[in-house]
Structure 1
Amino acid sequence: MRVHVPVQKAVTAIKDKVRALTHSSAQADLTALLERVNGVLRGWSNYFKHGVSKRTLSYLGAFNCRRTAIWIRKRHPGLTWKHLRRRFMAGGWTITDGQLTLFNPASVTVFRYRRRSVIPNPWTPATRRLTQPT
């Protein structure tokens, strides 16, 4: 049986997109960054939610959080990590700007396609009803 896992090329492509969005001059503020990154990650994780991709989604969540934290750190060079956590992270390590929260791809429910043993077909002889002439 073949297992459907996101290939390395797809993972590298989404990581490159996140890197481009979290470049130091790519976005004006944290709200714009969260809107763009959340949209990209939601779409990618919903596309790959059918199959065995939970570990990859968890990895991307950690990668995304790290890249966003580095982006915040570069935007505010005078603040310490302690002040950054208090100001930009709610409830520990969840990055937020007050309204938007950074999307965690690991929160997507992953499920596999199930194969049907018999696909109903109206033209098969077993299901065709023969009518009696009247």
Structure 2
Amino acid sequence: MKAKIRHLTHRTSQQDLAVVLINLNQLTYGWANYFRHAVAKPIFSRLDDLVWWRVIRLLRTRHHWSWRDVRRRLPPTERWLPISAISVTRYR
């Protein structure tokens, strides 16, 4: 999973950002829905952090942003829904 995320968010990728985000969304939510019956909350959290930082690095490299630009353009209240927010249900 981490290798797929790294492949999609390569810093020098020329793909449109919308395409990258759509592919990441499909990949992470599909994986999270498949494993939501397992005890995987900590792994969901780590994957969410990995995706967030990879996208930030991609944007910083592509647009030559500083951290001030990142904070101005992506305030914490406008982050996407993390995969750790998917409800985990147990098998009975």
For normalisation by structure 2, the TM-score amounts to 0.87
Residue matched to 2:85: 107
Task: Kindly indicate whether structure 1 or structure 2 has the higher relative contact order, using CA contacts under 8 Å at least 6 residues apart.
Answer: 2
Aligned to 2:67: 81
- Aligned Cα RMSD in Å? 1.7
| Runs of 5+ consecutive residues of structure 2 not aligned to the other structure | none
Confirm or deny that 1:62 pairs with 2:49.
yes
Letter in 1 for 2:32: S
Cα distance per residue 1:20-71 (max 9 Å; x no partner): 0001243523211111100100100000000211111011101110111111
Higher helix share: 2
Give the structure 2 partner of residue 52 of structure 1. Answer: 39
Cα distance, 1:92 vs. partner? Answer: 4.6
Max Rg structure: 1
Letter of the 1:81 partner, please give it.
W
Cα separation, 1, equivalents of 2:18 and 2:38: 32
Question: TM-score scaled to structure 1, two decimals?
Answer: 0.62
Whether the 8 Å contact between 2:28 and 2:83 is mirrored in structure 1 is yes
Q: Distance in 2 between matches of 1:90 and 1:38?
A: 20
Separation (CA, whole Å) in 2 of partners of 1:106 and 1:39 = 15
1:117-128 to structure 2, matched below 5 A, reads none
Question: 2 CA distance for matches of 1:24 and 1:60?
Answer: 18
4+ long deviations beyond 6 Å? none
Could you tell me whether the CA contact under 8 Å between 2:12 and 2:62 is conserved in 1?
no
